[in-house]
Amino acid sequence: MHKRKTAIYPGTFDPITNGHCDIIRRGLKLFDRVIVAIATDGSKNPLFTVEERLEMLRETLKDMPNVETDCFDGLLVDYVVKRGADTILRGLRAVSDFEYEFQMALMNRKLNKNVQTVFLMTGLRWIFISSSIIKEAAQFGGETSGMVPDVVRNKLNEKFGKTR
């Protein structure tokens, strides 16, 4: 019998971008199921509440049947085990991401040697996009169409009082 391979794709997803969606779609080619999990206790100061981020994730990913959304706090490796997975899925945009992600992967491996980290390079068309850059652009009236799902663009416009 085939054991279902599940990967956890953790992040703040504040907000989810088309780059994140690219990693999820490509992750589904490697894994039977991907759980997109919002880390709720990070040091970042999020623009959107956990509930808003979950809502945007669910709306964005509703057509992907093998994707679940969730949130967690505490150690990622503990959450991975709790969800019956053994793989962490992470996206890399540039060399600048690598050092941090490499350190995190090594620490997670030290905490639980049975949990592996798999890195996928972001597609070239998304390499410059980050949630932080998207929020900054939206805050100052920049158009985010094509870089984030429509539901996210609408929520950003609501947050920053922009109507078009």
The catalytic site residues sit at 20, 44, 93, 131
pLDDT at 133 over 90: yes
pLDDT tens-digit readout, 106-132 = 999 999 999 999 999 998 899 889 999
pTM over 0.95: no
Query: Is residue 148 packed enough to be buried (19+ CB in 10 Å), middle (13-18) or exposed (0-12)?
Result: buried
Confidence band for 43, pLDDT divided at 50, 70 and 90? low
Q: What is the CA radius of gyration of the chain?
A: 16
Residue 3 DSSP label:
P
In percent, the amount of the chain with pLDDT more than 90 equals: 84
Give the mean pLDDT of 46-55: 96
For 66-135, give the secondary structure using H, E and C: CEEEEEECCCHHHHHHHCCCCEEEEEECCHHHHHHHHHHHHHHHHHCCCCEEEEEECCHHHCCCCHHHHH
Give the mean pLDDT of 16-42: 95
- Which residues make Cβ contacts (< 8 Å) with residue 39, sequence separation at least 6? 10, 11, 12, 71, 72, 73, 76
Q: Provide the pLDDT for residue 94.
A: 79
Give the mean pLDDT of 146-156: 96
pLDDT at 2 over 70: no
Q: Which residue has the higher pLDDT, 137 or 44?
A: 137
pLDDT at 70 over 60: yes
Give the mean pLDDT of 71-99: 93
What are residue 164's DSSP bridge partners? none
| Domains of the chain and any CATH numbers | 6-156 (3.40.50.620)
Q: Provide the pLDDT for residue 1.
A: 60
State the chain's mean pLDDT as an integer: 93
